[in-house]
Structure 1
């Protein structure tokens, strides 16, 4: 599934139309590469990728080097079975409109069969109506209506993330944590006995009137589900509170001896 995801992402091209600032081209390349996208096409850029573009790319130099540069939109969209245009404003002429997550899902689904394109327009005015007429769908990023200005690279990052998120969902990819070595039930009971003893010894609780306190503390630590090392740290703290010292030769908390 991961290989299939990579292949689908490779068929999604970001097409930038008449970009004014080369730095934005570099920033878009960076946004794409962080999300596993690699196909960048430029239509009549006012400035070719230069030193500023390389600086803003921050390591996505390979995308800039491979970027296609076209004189017209027809060449840039050649071979695409689906074209989605990004627009910062809703137009008076109605186009089929997608939210970013829906846009990502459609692009990814069609990319499984062939080339697709996501088109972003000029920094100052976006895409023209004639350019949008080439699109099957329009994607709009809902922004604060009182301040809706979104830089082209920022828009690219939002859409690239949504594509990555959709691809990971299809592939069943999830963030995973290193498995924790949770403290066993016996170890927790030893800790609770040690805790009760310590609270009594330091004068914090009365053994005859501490049942409610003990239950609440059990609930607290059961919710936390400490692992073996964390439990050793807690017991070390209890030992210190009782006036027992942990030998300095134990460099790590998990190496400290367990009090009885």
Structure 2
């Protein structure tokens, strides 16, 4: 029986992605396994190991995986944590609570760096526990480090897939920063203003902006909003406002088009007013 719909193409993998292993221990709800697969594929990971899941594979897991069914297809199902960790060179387990005996604890960003540094030596396992009570003390003692996600202490419990997503996101960001060191990475480049790569219109030049300011001041005078003889700080504040916006050439054109329309409407309204007055004067003369 086919339970899964075709998966979307997998992002090209490399040793780093293959060596990082997400291990779920005794997952109770199979839908969470599917949600984890989706979280992993979102971040370019696909190496999933399942330790004694209550139910897998089934319809719920594939339904929640959406287009990450290929991650479920390749998932390794084992009967014990020992099997999942036996060939690993580093093991990190997620933990939300303190221990009587202090254990090395690192944050998700630190875990990502540590995983990357060790993945060249062999498989690295990131272990997540049961939905109800996480990993046992014995299981956490199998880990070189505990990963602590600094969630709200008043409501610290994370859904399994959410916890996996947080850690996988940090792995993804570390990987992309590594790419950025050797080549420009479009994933991390900001695009917030004209001139940034990906912006659709070139930035407005000083000439463009000064032409707009001159046009704006004239229109404000035309509509009796601004008087040159008593300017106060109006144009200074408007300059500050529009300079802060960092306009592009198209935006300048749009704004000047609006100003031109205002001027035309003002002239037309004044013309109607003059015609009305003239017509009234003629009527009075005829009377």
Shorter-chain-normalised TM-score: which range? 0.7 to 0.9
1:228 aligns with 2:249: yes
1:112 aligns with 2:120: yes
Q: Note the 1:64-79 alignment, pairs <5 A.
A: 64-79=72-87
Aligned length: 243
Three-state SS of the structure 2 residue aligned to 1:243 is: helix
Query: Contact (CA 8 Å) 1:6, 1:36: kept in 2 or not?
Result: no
For the residues of structure 2 that align with 1:187 and 1:244, how far apart are their CA atoms?
Answer: 24
Aligned to 1:250: none
Identify unmatched segments of 5+ residues in structure 1.
Answer: 246-260
Aligned to 1:253: none
Query: Contact (CA 8 Å) 1:22, 1:53: kept in 2 or not?
Result: yes
Q: 1:151 is matched with which residue: 142, 146, 159? A: 159
> Shift of the alpha carbon at 1:183?
1.0
For the residues of structure 2 that align with 1:5 and 1:58, how far apart are their CA atoms?
Answer: 20
For the residues of structure 1 that align with 2:149 and 2:246, how far apart are their CA atoms?
Answer: 41
Q: Which has the higher contact order (CA 8 A, sep 6+)?
A: 1
Aligned to 1:170: 178
Aligned to 2:145: 137
> Shift of the alpha carbon at 1:43?
0.7
Aligned to 1:210: 231
- Higher mean Cα deviation, 146-155 or 22-31? 146-155
For the residues of structure 2 that align with 1:44 and 1:93, how far apart are their CA atoms?
Answer: 28
For the residues of structure 1 that align with 2:41 and 2:247, how far apart are their CA atoms?
Answer: 38
Aligned to 2:31: 23
Identify unmatched segments of 5+ residues in structure 2.
Answer: 1-10, 192-197, 267-287
For the residues of structure 2 that align with 1:144 and 1:189, how far apart are their CA atoms?
Answer: 50
Q: TM-score, normalised by structure 1?
A: 0.88
Query: Contact (CA 8 Å) 2:13, 2:44: kept in 1 or not?
Result: no
Q: For residues 73-104 of structure 1, give each alpha carbon's deviation from its aligned partner in whole angstroms, at most 9, with x where no partner exists.
A: 12111321110011122222221111111111
Query: Contact (CA 8 Å) 2:34, 2:63: kept in 1 or not?
Result: yes
Three-state SS of the structure 1 residue aligned to 2:57 is: coil
Q: 1:86 is matched with which residue: 58, 80, 94? A: 94
> Shift of the alpha carbon at 1:113?
3.1
> Shift of the alpha carbon at 1:61?
0.1
Q: For residues 107-160 of structure 1, give each alpha carbon's deviation from its aligned partner in whole angstroms, at most 9, with x where no partner exists.
A: 121113321010011111211122112111111112222222211111111111
For the residues of structure 2 that align with 1:22 and 1:117, how far apart are their CA atoms?
Answer: 21
1:160 aligns with 2:181: no
Q: TM-score, normalised by structure 2?
A: 0.80
C-alpha RMSD over aligned residues:
1.9
Q: 1:53 is matched with which residue: 40, 61, 70? A: 61
1:13 aligns with 2:27: no
Q: 2:129 is matched with which residue: 110, 121, 126? A: 121
Query: Contact (CA 8 Å) 1:84, 1:118: kept in 2 or not?
Result: yes
Cα–Cα, structure 1 residues 5 and 216, in superposed 2: closer, same or farther, change >3 Å?
Answer: farther
Q: For residues 171-223 of structure 1, give each alpha carbon's deviation from its aligned partner in whole angstroms, at most 9, with x where no partner exists.
A: 22323431440111111121111111100001100022226322222222112
Three-state SS of the structure 2 residue aligned to 1:23 is: helix
1:240 aligns with 2:248: no
Q: For residues 30-61 of structure 1, give each alpha carbon's deviation from its aligned partner in whole angstroms, at most 9, with x where no partner exists.
A: 11110111100001111112111111111110
